[in-house]
Amino acid sequence: MTILKEKLSDFKEKFEEAQKLIEETKTETLEPYKNHYRAREILCELEKNLLNVSDSFKDDEDDRLTINAILGYVMKDIGKISMFVDETSLAQKYFQRTIELLEVDKNSLKIIVCFVDVLNQLGILWSKLDDVEKSKSYLLKSEETANQFKEMSKIQPLTIFDVFGTSDEIEKGKGQVSLEKTCTLTYFYLAQVFGQLGDLDTSAKYCHLTLNRQLELKDYDPVEWALNSATLSQYYFGKNMLKQSRHLLAASSYMLANFSVDLEACELLEDQRAAATENLKHRTADVDLCFAKYCMYIIKTSIERLLQEDESGTDTDAAQFKINTSCERFPLELSVYEQQVTDQFVLTYEDAKHVFLEAQSYLNKAKEYYNLDSEASQYARIIQDYASLFKHLAFFEDDTANQAKLHKRRADQLEAVQKELNPTFYLNICRELMFELGLTYSDMLDIKCEKLKFEEVQPQTLSKINKLCHKAIEKFQEFIDSYKDKKTNEIPETLDIDDYQAIGCAHFNLGRLFYKIITPDKKMQLDNTQKSLLNYKTFLNYCDKHKEVGERMKGEKGVTQSMAELLPHKIKKLMDEISQ
């Protein structure tokens, strides 16, 4: 029996009515799900009608597949609406019923797209219910089913609207595009699931597949695609896949540059253009920051690599410093963007300076969007990155005077931004700045002290050393005080272990700094030595009280124990000299 065209037309009309309700902009604030509930009512009524007529056409294979295909789409959409309105039990019921209905015919041209999509929906559902393994199993089945169909079938699949029409009304190619887009979503969801499971390599693989498929299908938002590509790059440079990371960043820049040109030529209303321009500026700044992080990673890891080489006395070949040169490329011409920065670790000052300047350029561009007035937190992070760049470049500088100048630039950047931030609103960032400034002045102090070993001692040099000591002491003490309860003036007992480690580390540095102050006055020497011992003992108390702090800082703990034994003798000797 042939299904009457009029009946299919009625089914299609109801299905489209439900789809229109779902797609309409939701303006109701008191009834946010009103359209969805109404759409579900229509689909449930359509489900009943389809079930009522299904027996009439079970003897005709083509008609049976048509009815089942439409019924599958209807039940799947009822499940999707139920999941959207947080009725997960009902959603699961409908998705499972759809699977049971379509499983036997999953390789049918009329059914494959729906079947793959409902497997995706079950993957999403179980992810929301925190059963990530079950989510993964459905998504992998979705991927496998789609791949098997594409290998077996030489005929393109059909969309739901192709199913409603006659063979003459089929829109050629749309079914294949619909299947491919559904597969792209499968890869996207798999990327999230593997990320939740901690399998970051597989997650990154599916992220890259998703981006590549979006390009092939020309189905993407350029700005969103660029941001996702740049975000993925951050994972790859952490694996020393510098070529892959740079390629992803270059693709991001390419995409944003092209979109900027297209936006200029596009006819838009004033508010639409303003919104699109703002979004472009925002995400361009984010991509610039990702590029800067890539450059900073190269310099920082190059330093670690060289330090390990110095310790071993041989060329380092450790796994953590081996560059993986493999690169899955996009079908884009990106050489202009890739040539701006290296995909290798650096060895010399000149090479490091080139990467430093590139990073600085990206940070400058990002700072145009993330300024102090509008985005104070992000602006402060950018300045911290600036400071880190000067610190890393100083490592490659042989001249101690130039090293000191680079650290001075580092300190100036941090001091300037700390003065602008109100610690009431930006306490955590201010603490980071205080601590980093303490370390910066300590680094400058070490350079001065090292230089003192090879030149005649001058009063001016001693004055600079003491000044740096006091600046570093001031910052570390300011950091510790920021944790103290204003009423009791004591450190609370409810902090995280990371905070206790940072406070302990500050005391360790204070112990070291008080001992480095140079003065001929015996009483001042005694006072500084006593303060040094007090801070060293405080650090040891933190290590005893918080065992994890002691485990994390074994090296510092060993040094401190030695000083805690030495300093009482030093104090006694000074007291004897003063009494005489």
pLDDT tens for residues 97-142?
999 999 999 999 999 999 999 999 999 999 999 999 999 999 999 9
The Cβ of residue 372 has, within 10 Å, a number of other Cβ atoms equal to 16
Is the confidence at residue 313, as pLDDT, over 80? Answer: no
Is the confidence at residue 5, as pLDDT, over 60? Answer: yes
pLDDT band at 187 (very low <50, low <70, confident <90, very high): very high
State in Å, rounded, how far the first CA of the chain is from the last one: 120
Share of the chain above pLDDT 70, in %: 96
**Which residues, in sequence order, are CB contacts of 178 under 8 Å at separation 6+?**
113, 157, 159
| Helix H or strand E segment including 236 | helix 222-238
- Measured in whole angstroms, how far is the alpha carbon of residue 161 from the centre of its chain? 40
**Mean pLDDT of the chain, nearest integer:** 91
Is the confidence at residue 314, as pLDDT, over 60? Answer: no
3-state secondary structure (DSSP) of residue 49: helix
Is the confidence at residue 317, as pLDDT, over 80? Answer: no
pLDDT band at 27 (very low <50, low <70, confident <90, very high): low
Burial class (CB in 10 A: 0-12, 13-18, 19+), 494: exposed
pLDDT band at 26 (very low <50, low <70, confident <90, very high): low
Note the pLDDT of residue 3: 54
pLDDT band at 60 (very low <50, low <70, confident <90, very high): confident
- In whole angstroms, what is the distance from residue 149 CA to residue 142 CA? 11
Note the pLDDT of residue 63: 85
Is the confidence at residue 16, as pLDDT, over 70? Answer: yes
Burial class (CB in 10 A: 0-12, 13-18, 19+), 197: middle
pLDDT tens for residues 257-275?
999 999 988 888 899 999 9
Residue type at 134 in one-letter notation: K
DSSP 463-518: HHHHHHHHHHHHHHHHHHHTTS-TTT-S--S---HHHHHHHHHHHHHHHHHHHH--
- In whole angstroms, what is the distance from residue 293 CA to residue 297 CA? 6
Note the pLDDT of residue 1: 43
- Measured in whole angstroms, how far is the alpha carbon of residue 285 from the centre of its chain? 15
Note the pLDDT of residue 62: 86
pLDDT tens for residues 375-419?
999 999 999 999 999 999 999 999 999 999 999 999 999 999 999
Note the pLDDT of residue 310: 65
**Which residues, in sequence order, are CB contacts of 311 under 8 Å at separation 6+?**
none
pLDDT mean over 426-435: 96
